[in-house]
Amino acid sequence: MESKRIMRQLVRWRRSLHQCPEIGYEERKTARFVIAELQRLGIPYEYGGVGGGIVARLRGVRTEGTRVALRAELDALPIAEQTGLPFASRHRGKMHACGHDGHMAMVLGAAALLQDPLPQGDVVLIFQPAEEGGLGAQVMIDAGALAGVAMIFGGHLTNLYSTGQIMAVPGPVCAQADSFRIRVFGRGGHGARPHEATDALVASAALVGGLQTLVSREANPLDPSVVTIGTLQAGTARNVIAHEALLEGTIRTTQSGTRLRLIAGMERMCRALGEAYHTRIELELSEPYPPVINTPRETELARRAAARVVGAGRVLTYELPSMGAEDFSLYLKEVPGCFVRFGARAPNAANVPLHSPQFDFDEAALLIGARYFEAVVRLALADDLSAAQVLSDDPTSYDDSLSTPAT
């Protein structure tokens, strides 16, 4: 398919999806849009309904051969968009601030590219719900999305890298993430008579400060780890001593030993500060996101595919994993695969981070992502690596003319 034609289609898909962001397990309009495009492409699918996901299957030349999966995410974030884009979110307080609109467009684009010529084996297209904190990957696994799949590939847009760069590395690429909730129970009272009360807010403030020492003084500084308190809710009026407080946050680690040490430290600190401040403190940990660990063979396939699309000099590696979490890790517990990063920062554009209300990306990255997914599928399904030359068009180099300014 000619580059400018597929580029127009990718931009249309991305901008349409960007305007109708939906939170995890509520992706009704988003799923309808993806299904309509799959129907237009003539690709059969199964849909689990609202709260479920979509599994489409592109039949290859040899249906008895290897089956490869590609994954994209349906959900958005509860963020009020501040980009000023002409195709900005039409859903108040919701935004595609993590590039999932782009990921869906890339996988749809790869599906279109893979239709001519057809690949050697079947391709499973997974559009999952609730990646943002909802462990939607498990929903897809439980629904049988990986049945018969030999390997899986996914990726994420990022402004940390320039458009035309792809990061692919074996081993850990995303941290393990534990979410926690801490409740502090005191005894309320009048602000003028603190001796008659037990202040849950003061105990919470001490806890926030104390928990930061777990990383700064108890974790190996060469082992990346983070403890973040994201919310603290306490108090009802300026002259009332808070009787209860709620803290919520995350622990990010890359080593299991460090994770266990930080959790043990949190439990110890909650007990100690509860006694010190005459409060009762309860710590609740939720099911963790495992780390994303790319497998060696599939990473080599990914790097070869990336080099085919953007050139070997633009295929990046790095030494340390991201401290972000990704439920792509759940797929990798079932089958081997590789998760890459697509550079999406336009020339001279600022590095606007993911999850920012100003987040946007260079749409030229959409074509790169679609071409990469096409290439990695053909490589993975080929009888030998030389069959990788069977690609639609000839995307031998990144075309800077397709780059658009980030907003």
Tokens encoding 148: 């018969």
Predicted local distance difference test score (pLDDT) of residue 386? 47
Using DSSP's 3-state secondary structure scheme, residue 109 falls into helix
The mean pLDDT value of the chain amounts to 93
- Which tens digit of pLDDT belongs to each residue from 308-359? 999 999 999 986 788 999 999 999 999 999 999 999 999 999 999 999 999 9
**Given phi > 0 = left and psi -120 to 50 = alpha, else beta, which region is 74?**
alpha
Predicted local distance difference test score (pLDDT) of residue 382? 87
Judge whether 318 counts as a catalytic residue: no
Judge whether 131 counts as a catalytic residue: no
Rounded to an integer, what distance in angstroms lies between the CA atom of residue 188 and that of residue 194?
A: 9
Instruction: Kindly indicate the confidence band of residue 1, based on its pLDDT and cuts at 50, 70 and 90.
Output: low
156 labeled binding residue: yes
Tokens encoding 310: 């953007």
Tokens encoding 124: 């499973």
195 labeled binding residue: no
In this predicted structure, the answer to whether residue 101 has a pLDDT above a threshold of 80 is yes
Predicted local distance difference test score (pLDDT) of residue 405? 41
243 labeled binding residue: no
Predicted local distance difference test score (pLDDT) of residue 273? 97
Rounded to an integer, what distance in angstroms lies between the CA atom of residue 337 and that of residue 3?
A: 27
Lowest mean pLDDT among 1-5, 158-162, 332-336, 383-387: 383-387
Instruction: Kindly indicate the confidence band of residue 403, based on its pLDDT and cuts at 50, 70 and 90.
Output: low
CB within 8 A of 125, min separation 6: which ones? Answer: 38, 43, 45, 54, 55, 56, 57, 58, 69, 70, 72, 107, 111
Say what percent of the chain tops pLDDT 90: 85
Using DSSP's 3-state secondary structure scheme, residue 265 falls into helix
Query: Do the beta carbons of residue 406 and residue 11 sit within 8 Å?
Result: no
Question: Which of the residues 277, 289, 372, 398 is marked catalytic?
Answer: 289
Question: What does the DSSP assignment read for 157-217?
Answer: EEEEEETT-EE--SEEEE-EEEEEEEEEE-B-EETT-GGGSB-HHHHHHHHHHHHHHIIII
- Which tens digit of pLDDT belongs to each residue from 9-66? 999 999 999 999 999 999 999 999 999 999 999 999 999 999 999 999 999 998 677 8
Predicted local distance difference test score (pLDDT) of residue 292? 95
- Which tens digit of pLDDT belongs to each residue from 177-217? 999 999 999 999 999 999 999 999 999 999 999 999 999 99
Query: Do the beta carbons of residue 352 and residue 138 sit within 8 Å?
Result: no
- In 274-329, DSSP assigns E strands to 280-285, 292-294, 315-316
CB atoms within 10 A of CB 63: 10
Question: Which of the residues 22, 244, 298, 363 is marked catalytic?
Answer: 363
Query: Do the beta carbons of residue 369 and residue 157 sit within 8 Å?
Result: yes
Using DSSP's 3-state secondary structure scheme, residue 8 falls into helix
Predicted local distance difference test score (pLDDT) of residue 400? 57
In this predicted structure, the answer to whether residue 142 has a pLDDT above a threshold of 50 is yes
Domains of the chain, each with CATH number or no CATH? 3-173+291-402 (3.40.630.10), 176-285 (3.30.70.360)
Predicted local distance difference test score (pLDDT) of residue 222? 86
- In 212-262, DSSP assigns E strands to 225-234, 240-241, 244-253
96 labeled binding residue: no
Sequence letter at residue 262: L
**Given phi > 0 = left and psi -120 to 50 = alpha, else beta, which region is 350?**
beta
* Burial of 101 per CB tally in 10 Å (0-12, 13-18, 19+): buried
Nearest C-alpha neighbor of 85 from the set 18, 10, 157, 12: 18
Torsion sign over Cα 87, 88, 92, 97 = positive
Predicted local distance difference test score (pLDDT) of residue 209? 96
- Whether omega for the bond prior to residue 347 falls within 30 degrees of 0, making it cis, is no
Rounded to an integer, what distance in angstroms lies between the CA atom of residue 29 and that of residue 39?
A: 15
Predicted local distance difference test score (pLDDT) of residue 393? 46
Predicted local distance difference test score (pLDDT) of residue 396? 42
Predicted local distance difference test score (pLDDT) of residue 65? 73
CB within 8 A of 385, min separation 6: which ones? Answer: 304, 379
Position of tokens 């397990």?
25
Predicted local distance difference test score (pLDDT) of residue 395? 47
Rounded to an integer, what distance in angstroms lies between the CA atom of residue 163 and that of residue 158?
A: 9
Rounded to an integer, what distance in angstroms lies between the CA atom of residue 200 and that of residue 150?
A: 52
Q: Hey, which of 23-37, 253-267, 370-384 has the most confident mean pLDDT?
A: 23-37
Predicted local distance difference test score (pLDDT) of residue 319? 66
Instruction: Give the β-pairing of 166-167 and 315-316.
Output: parallel
Lowest mean pLDDT among 136-140, 251-255, 312-316: 251-255
What does R_g of the chain's alpha carbons equal in angstroms? 23
CB atoms within 10 A of CB 376: 30
Tokens encoding 137: 């990957």
132 labeled binding residue: yes
- Which tens digit of pLDDT belongs to each residue from 223-247? 889 999 999 999 999 999 999 999 9
- Which tens digit of pLDDT belongs to each residue from 278-295? 999 999 998 888 999 999
